[in-house]
Amino acid sequence: MTFYRTQGRCMILLAVFLTVGSQQKKPDEKEFICPEGAGNGNFADPATCRRFYQCVDGFPYLNRCPSGLYFDDINKLCTFKNEARCGPISTTPAPITEPPVDLAKKCDTSSCELPYCFCSRDGTRIPGNLDPEDTPQIILMTFDGAINLNNFDHYQRVFTSDRKNPNGCPIRGTFFVAHEYSNYHMIERLAHDGHEIGTETISLQQGLQDKGYEEWVGEMIGMREILRHFANISKSDVVGMRAPYLKPGRNTQYEVLEDFGYIYDSSVGIPPLKVPIWPYTLDYKIPHECRSGTCPSRTFQGIWEVPLNAHYVETYEGGHCPYLDQCVLHSHDPDEVFEWLQEDFNRYYLQNRAPYMMPFHTNWFQIKELERGLHKFLDWTKTLPDVWIVTITQALVWMTDPRSAKNLNTFDAWNCAKRQNIPPPACNLPNSCALSFRPPEANVSSTRYLVTCRECPVRYPWLGDSGGTGVDGTDVYNPEN
């Protein structure tokens, strides 16, 4: 292992990445150059779909997808061959017409009071000015993308009935659902079990951050309507969203949130900070650097932002990442994965106890050692007396009415005895609908399978036709206010 020091921190050139490791380039292959201005992230290897580059501070690290998986240049992760869209896929961003003027004012704590507003000058203040030892350590487990046979059983093992919160209630997570390849019978089962269902978007299209109001409405509200049609989830229960690739849509996306009754967004990534940031409302200027460069620039009163603090350890081994599966852990020993997560978690637990968000894509669960390390970490956290694993909405309810950790066993919002507004159980024999589908960028149609307790639609639901009626442009959405 060779170390390079860059800008005051260790950059690690690892001999082994993921399952197989860093690959030797052939003599005739061109040297990969990280795209200028694109920032840190994963990029397709032009030579093969089995590999990708992770660019960290302008330096490309070559990685190979685990056995049987391929790099999807749209979702920027390793997935199954039939789901992977091999790259590089070129994108042409739409012109940005919105002036980059920050119209929001800095936090004024004298005018910003709970339960309707929360801010602090640097984002690190605990709600209610509680002392850290009196503050519950919240863990937010979030999962992005489609829910299907590739991941459902893995998710069920995470939320085993043996794992409970201090009040005896089962731990719960938040799922930001994307449409394509989703199994709506499984989504309905998750919702009935008490997990929170939020929206990502229908198509996960690149460049949405530069699109207009109608495009965001079609993607976000269309996804919420698909959940209503095919997973029997009321739109009033879908109150949170996450933008594709953590690229929020400037003010436009938040106008849609405001107009259509959403409570929170969770799309804003934060660079590595010594002290993590708490969620905040958008009544004032965001208290940290905007990692994506596409954050809102004006006030959206009462809309919560639940940001993604960067994950890292002191040595920066594995780099830093908003999604845990994007950190490159060179060792897949479950004990070392556990120790990595433990050190990352303790930065929260031993300081200001900001919610420890654990965001995942499916590919974390395709590597057994990573999954085992995660299970070991979750079992360890349950030995701590004041750790709660709840949904994002449950966490925000506590933030609007903060109370000491010792008084939470009777906190109604985290109590499972009163199962109000829980969707009914999913059916035992769902319909498996084989539907013709031609993506906008494709020349030929293919078959998509949609599994639902409802009747099969005429065609695969998509933008403009969330009900799958077969008639383009049938969706008409009206702001709720």
pLDDT band at 26 (very low <50, low <70, confident <90, very high): low
Q: What is the mean pLDDT of residues 336-360?
A: 97
At residue 61, does pLDDT exceed 90? no
Q: What's the confidence (pLDDT) of residue 12?
A: 26
Q: What is the mean pLDDT of residues 353-359?
A: 98
- Name the residue type at position 452: T
The residues near 265 (Cβ < 8 Å, ≥ 6 apart) are 240, 241, 242, 243, 248, 253, 254, 257, 303, 304, 305, 306
Is the separation of the CB atoms in 412 and 292 below 8 Å? no
At residue 131, does pLDDT exceed 80? yes
pLDDT band at 481 (very low <50, low <70, confident <90, very high): low
Q: Tell me the percentage of the chain whose pLDDT exceeds 90.
A: 69
- The residue among 350 and 67 whose pLDDT is bigger is 350
Q: What's the confidence (pLDDT) of residue 28?
A: 55
- Name the residue type at position 103: L
Q: What's the confidence (pLDDT) of residue 21?
A: 39
Q: What's the confidence (pLDDT) of residue 396?
A: 98
List residues bridging with 51 in a β-sheet.
64
Nearest to 352 by CA among 82, 122, 41: 122
Chain centroid to CA 345? 18
d(CA 266, CA 243): 8
Is the separation of the CB atoms in 342 and 377 below 8 Å? yes
Average pLDDT, the chain: 88
Could you tell me the domains of the chain?
A: 2-80 (2.170.140), 127-414 (3.20.20.370)
- The residue among 350 and 76 whose pLDDT is bigger is 350
Question: For 126-183, where are the alpha helices, taking DSSP H only?
Answer: 152-158
Q: What's the confidence (pLDDT) of residue 59?
A: 78
d(CA 222, CA 245): 18
Nearest to 245 by CA among 206, 217, 213: 206
At residue 17, does pLDDT exceed 80? no
Q: What is the mean pLDDT of residues 307-321?
A: 92
Q: What's the confidence (pLDDT) of residue 38?
A: 66
Is the separation of the CB atoms in 99 and 86 below 8 Å? no
- Name the residue type at position 398: W
The residues near 69 (Cβ < 8 Å, ≥ 6 apart) are 78, 79, 80, 81, 84, 363, 366
* Per-residue burial over 412-448, b = 16 or more CB atoms within 10 Å of its CB, e = otherwise: eebeeeeeeeebeebeeebbebebebeeeeeeeeeeb
At residue 88, does pLDDT exceed 80? yes
d(CA 73, CA 49): 9
Burial status of residue 404 (CB atoms within 10 A of its CB: 0-12, 13-18, 19 or more): middle
Q: What is the mean pLDDT of residues 65-79?
A: 79
d(CA 116, CA 76): 36
- The residue among 34 and 120 whose pLDDT is bigger is 120
Q: What's the confidence (pLDDT) of residue 6?
A: 33
d(CA 294, CA 253): 10
The residues near 78 (Cβ < 8 Å, ≥ 6 apart) are 52, 65, 66, 69, 70, 71, 72, 84, 363, 366
Q: What's the confidence (pLDDT) of residue 91?
A: 60
At residue 23, does pLDDT exceed 50? no
Q: Give the pair of three-digit tokens for residue 180.
A: 């394509």
Nearest to 91 by CA among 44, 54, 125, 24: 44
d(CA 53, CA 162): 39
Instruction: Report the 10 Å Cβ neighbour count for 26.
Output: 7
> Each residue of 214-273: pLDDT tens digit?
999 999 999 999 999 999 999 999 999 999 999 999 999 999 999 999 999 999 999 999
> Each residue of 390-415: pLDDT tens digit?
999 999 999 999 999 999 999 999 99
Q: What is the mean pLDDT of residues 283-292?
A: 94
d(CA 216, CA 194): 28
Q: Please tell me whether residue 422 adopts helix, strand or coil conformation.
A: coil
> Each residue of 168-190: pLDDT tens digit?
999 999 999 999 999 999 999 99
Q: What is the mean pLDDT of residues 200-221?
A: 95
188 Ramachandran zone, left/alpha/beta (phi>0; psi -120 to 50): alpha
